[in-house]
Every structure is written in C-alpha cells, then in structure tokens.
C-alpha cells in the first residue's frame, strides 16, 4: 500500500495521516499532505486546494489513520570518513591507512544504506582526507544515486601538536588566521569546523588540558568565516573551552560536556546552538571491558553522562537551540544506528519525544541554514519524510521499528533487522 506512494516527473500524491509532526510544532491530528518527487505542495488539516489535485479528485490517494508522518532526520555531527561500529583500536587504525579514494568508496557505500533508516541529511564534522568534501560535491552535482544531502567543512582547524590531527590541518600551515579560513573555503568547505579544546580524559573524568585556542583566535576565525558566508561549529568540552567558544561567537558548541547553566543562558541569548553528542561517552560505558575501563572509571563516565543529561533538560527549559548529532564514526558509534542511540539518550535524559524529534528535524534545518530546504513538513520543502505505524510521539525508540521513507519520489522500507555492516 505505502509503496504506491512512489512518484515520478510531475505526478503528485495526496495522502491523509492520523498524526503529523512537522518538525517545528506539536503533533496535529488528521492532516493532509500533497507532494511530488521534488517538494511538498501542501500540508494542513483542511483538504488541499483543488488546484493541487487532479480534476474531480475529492478524496486522498491514501487515507492512513494509523500512521504518523514526520520529516526525515538530519544527523548534525558525523564523521563520514570513519567506520563507527568497529571497537578494535588496531582495526580502526588500519582502516585509516587506506587511501583517500578507498575511504571515499566506503563512505559512499555507507550513505546509500542510510536513506532507508530515515536519515536524509548529514552535516559532516570534518576530515583531512577530503572525503566529506567529495561527498558534498557528489551530492551537489546531481549525478548520483540516492544519497542523503551532505555538507562538510573539509579539514577541521586546530593547532599543531594538539588534539584533532586525525581530522584537522593546523593553523601553523598558514601565514594568518584569515588565510586558514580562505584556504578551507577555496577547497569547497560548506562551513568551518574549529577545535578549540581537547577531549575528556576518561580516567580523570574531566578535561585535563588547557584550551588550544584563545578567545581572540576563535573570534577572528568566526569573523572571517562570516565575511565569507560560512557558519562555524566548534568542538568544545570543559568550562574554560566552552567559555571561549561562546565569547568567540561560534554558531554552535559541539559536545559541550561540563557546560554550566550560565553558559547555557549566554548561548540562548546569542542564539548559539548546542549539539550534545551523548553517544560516544555512552559507548565507553556500554563497552567498558573492551575499552579497558575498571568499575571506578565506568562509574565516573556514568556521572559525566548524568550531569550532561541534567544540562540538556536545563537547556530545553531555558530555550537553548538544541540540535541532534551523534558524533557517528567515533568508537562504537555506528552511522545511522548511533543517531537512533543519540535520540533515545536525549529522551532518557528527560526530554519529551516530540522535542527530541524537532531537534533532529526542523530546529536543525532552520538553525544550520543548509543550501536546500528539508527537515520540515511544509510547502516548498523537499519530499523526504517518514511514515510509520509505530508512533514516535510515544517514544523515539519506535523509529527503529518498521517504517517507510519517502525520498524524492522513491519509497524505502526498513525495520529492526536492518543490515548495519560497514556503518
């Protein structure tokens, strides 16, 4: 039945669903949607205008009272050049010894699987091998098979000898901060990724190293990026590092572990988004034995997650723009499946399912200002959405269950038996 929603050319379909999540607001009942292979033509609780349906048609092509329709999901933080599911550190190291072309081919195979999971767009979070940039160009030139939208910063920006060398190129390779950003843009960067801090020391359960950038450096990089029409996003954990990212006016804080309430308040006022990325730390807890962590370290990691959960709830209460992203590609964080994990962890933290879904659809779409319109069920947005009998309004866990994904006129089906190899 749902397979009949495939469309081509100028053909359009009119459907009615029991529940609509548009990606921005609360759910509405008994909604009508008209779409073709390019975009949504109408969305509302009243029947569509006669001009949008064939002469004489008075009822929907399909009436689906048991189904929920929601936008396709946007993964806002993923490293597409990495295979995330692998836990063996030597195998991960060996994987990165492949050529850039080999890494790209693996990433292309990965992306083709992910549309059927309902993930329609990726904000790549950086790599120095050019994989993300190549994927972005493949998508934009239109000569491709079905794949999610991708944009990428190319290589992230860090300081020589500091954290990030596996995905970044150092400031020291250039004469000035302005030249650093100009070089990224010249190579095709859709946005600019900054690495102002290190990472969590899991043994100490805190960020033990000083930030690797100053406020002035972040401010200058952000300023030049804006002049060149690029948003910035900044890897930052530890309160000192988060402070300098906020002061430097980056567009988003990525990770943000140990964030303070006053920092959340300033982020809200400055419209700086937060991408919390619970999943990599959760995987360290889930696979503590494989990671070599004893019970003390495992307990410390859980405390970090508990504090992060409290901060997330506080952020929603305060009106901070929270965007869903899993840091897929990190140890144990498989692409696609890891994003489901992330959304479930946000719900487990105490955020209601609809707000979680909005963070991964409409909020992301509007704040990250992609080159195309998707992630919202509204006239003019891409026809990329999910249909499911398993209501995600009840719990986002239902997104794993059987569903249909309508993507540019084609219909895909997936369920919990999804083949996750290579992700």
Question: pLDDT at position 112, please?
Answer: 85
**Structure confidence at residue 205 (pLDDT):** 85
Q: Cα–Cα distance between 220 and 249 in angstroms, integer?
A: 10
- With a CB cutoff of 8 Å and minimum separation 6, the contacts of 132 are 79, 80, 81, 124, 126, 150, 152, 153, 154
Q: Where does 73-368 sit in CATH, by number?
A: 3.20.20.140
- Structural domain spans, the chain: 2-72+376-414, 73-368
Give pLDDT, residue 370. Answer: 97
* 99-to-94, 105, 151 alpha-carbon distances in Å: 11, 10, 21
**Neighbour count for residue 302 (Cβ, 10 Å):** 16
Instruction: State whether residue 382 is helix, strand or coil.
Output: strand
From the options 3.30.70.120, 3.60.15.10, 3.20.20.70, 2.30.40.10, give the CATH code of 2-72+376-414: 2.30.40.10
Residue 47 in tokens: 């029947």
pLDDT of res. 420 = 79
Within a 10 A sphere around the Cβ of 243, how many other Cβ atoms?
A: 18
> Tokens 């072309």 appear where?
101
Find all residues with CB under 8 Å of 402, minimum gap 6, and list them: 388, 389, 390, 413, 414, 415, 416
Query: What is the percent of the chain where pLDDT is above 70?
Result: 100
pLDDT at 55: 87
Q: Supply angle C-alpha 278, 363, 64, rounded to 5.
A: 100
Pick from 283, 285, 263, 284: nearest CA to 274: 263
What the block records as the tokens of 218 is 């972040």
Who's near 80: CB < 8 A, 6+ residues apart? 107, 110, 111, 122, 124, 127, 131, 132, 135, 150, 152, 329, 335
Q: How far apart are CA 129 and CA 103, in angstroms?
A: 8
Point out which residues pair with 73 in neighbouring strands: 119
- Please state the pTM of the whole predicted model: 0.97
**pLDDT value of position 416:** 84
What pLDDT, on a 0 to 100 scale, did the predictor assign at position 8?
87
Angle made by CA atoms 248, 252, 254, in degrees to the nearest 5 = 110
Both tokens assigned to 137 = 């160009």
CA separation for the pair 309, 197 (Å, rounded):
21
SS3 string of 150-202?
Answer: EECCCCEEECCCCCCCCCEEEHHHCCCHHHHHHHHHHCCCCCEEECCCCCCEC
pLDDT score of 62: 96
Length, in residues, of the chain: 423
User: Can you list the residues of the chain whose pLDDT is less than 50?
Assistant: none
Alpha-carbon span 96 to 103, nearest angstrom: 8
69 contact partners, CB below 8 Å, separation of at least 6? 15, 17, 19, 20, 21, 31, 33, 377, 385, 386, 387
Determine the Cα angle at 322 with ends 118 and 286, to 5°.
70
Q: Rounded distance, CA 408 to CA 423, Å? A: 23
What is the predicted pLDDT for the residue at 179?
98
């Amino acid at each position: 039945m749902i397979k009949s929603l495939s469309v081509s050319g100028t053909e359009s379909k009119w459907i009615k669903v029991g529940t609509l999540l548009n990606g921005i607001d609360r759910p509405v009942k008994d909604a009508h949607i008209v779409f073709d292979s390019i975009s949504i033509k109408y969305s509302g609780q009243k029947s569509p205008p006669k001009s949008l349906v064939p002469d004489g048609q008075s009822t929907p092509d399909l009436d689906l009272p048991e189904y929920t329709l929601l936008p396709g999901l946007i993964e806002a933080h993923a490293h597409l050049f990495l295979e995330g599911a692998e836990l063996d550190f030597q195998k991960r190291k060996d994987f990165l010894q492949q050529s850039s072309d080999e890494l790209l081919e693996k990433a292309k195979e990965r992306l083709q699987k992910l549309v059927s999971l309902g993930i329609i767009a990726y904000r790549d979070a950086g790599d120095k091998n050019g994989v993300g940039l190549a994927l972005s160009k493949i998508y934009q030139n239109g000569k491709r098979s079905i794949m999610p939208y991708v944009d990428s910063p190319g290589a992230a920006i860090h300081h020589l000898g500091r954290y990030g060398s596996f995905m970044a190129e150092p400031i020291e390779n250039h004469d000035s901060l302005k030249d650093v950003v100009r070089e990224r843009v010249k190579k095709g960067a859709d946005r600019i990724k900054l690495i102002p801090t290190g990472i969590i020391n899991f043994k100490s359960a805190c960020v033990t190293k000083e930030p690797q950038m100053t406020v002035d450096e972040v401010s200058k990089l952000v300023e030049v990026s804006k002049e060149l029409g690029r948003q910035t996003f900044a890897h930052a954990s530890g309160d000192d590092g988060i402070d300098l990212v906020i002061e430097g006016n980056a567009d988003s804080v990525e990770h943000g572990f140990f964030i303070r309430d006053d920092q959340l308040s300033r982020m809200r006022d400055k419209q700086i988004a937060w991408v919390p990325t619970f999943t990599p730390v959760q995987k360290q807890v889930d696979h503590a034995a494989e990671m070599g962590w004893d019970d003390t370290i495992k307990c410390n990691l859980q405390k970090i997650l508990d504090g992060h959960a409290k901060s997330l709830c506080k952020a929603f209460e305060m009106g901070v723009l929270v965007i869903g992203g899993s840091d897929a590609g990190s140890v144990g964080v498989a692409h696609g499946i890891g994003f489901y994990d992330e959304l479930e962890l946000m719900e487990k933290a105490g955020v209601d399912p609809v707000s979680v879904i909005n963070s991964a659809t409409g909020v992301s779409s509007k704040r990250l200002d992609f080159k195309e319109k998707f992630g919202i069920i509204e006239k003019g947005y891409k026809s990329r959405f999910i249909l499911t009998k398993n209501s995600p309004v009840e719990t986002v866990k239902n997104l794993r269950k059987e569903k249909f994904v309508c993507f540019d006129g084609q219909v895909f089906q997936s369920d919990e038996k999804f083949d996750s190899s290579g992700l």
